[in-house]
Structure 1
Amino acid sequence: MFNWYVGLLAISGVVMIAMAMVENGQSRASRLINGILGPIYLGYAVYLAFIFEGGSYLIFFQAFILPVLLVVDFFRNRKPRQKLTETQKAWRAHQRSEQNS
Structure 2
Amino acid sequence: MFNWYVGLLAVSGVIMLALAAVRQGQSQLSRVLNAAFGVGFIGYAFYLAFLFDGGSYFIFFQAFILPVMMVVNYFRNRTPKPKLTDTQKAWREYQKSTGSQ
Could you list the per-position Cα deviations for residues 8-64 of structure 1 after superposition, in whole angstroms to 9, with x for gaps in the alignment?
A: 100010000000000121011101100111111001101100000011223110011
The two structures, once aligned, show a CA RMSD in angstroms of 1.8
* 1:80 equivalent in structure 2: 80
* 1:46 equivalent in structure 2: 46
Q: Percent of counterpart pairs with the same letter? A: 65
* 1:31 equivalent in structure 2: 31
Q: Is the 8 A contact 1:24 1:79 kept in 2?
A: no
Q: Distance in 2 between matches of 1:15 and 1:81?
A: 26
Ranges in structure 1 where 5+ consecutive residues have no aligned partner? 84-101
Could you list the per-position Cα deviations for residues 46-95 of structure 1 after superposition, in whole angstroms to 9, with x for gaps in the alignment?
A: 11000000112231100111111001101111153999xxxxxxxxxxxx
Ranges in structure 2 where 5+ consecutive residues have no aligned partner? 84-101
* 2:65 equivalent in structure 1: 65
* 1:98 equivalent in structure 2: none
TM-score, normalisation: structure 2: 0.75
> After TM superposition, where is structure 1 displaced by more than 4 Å over at least 4 residues in a row?
none
Q: Distance in 2 between matches of 1:65 and 1:44?
A: 16
Q: Distance in 2 between matches of 1:29 and 1:58?
A: 27
Q: Distance in 1 between matches of 2:22 and 2:50?
A: 29
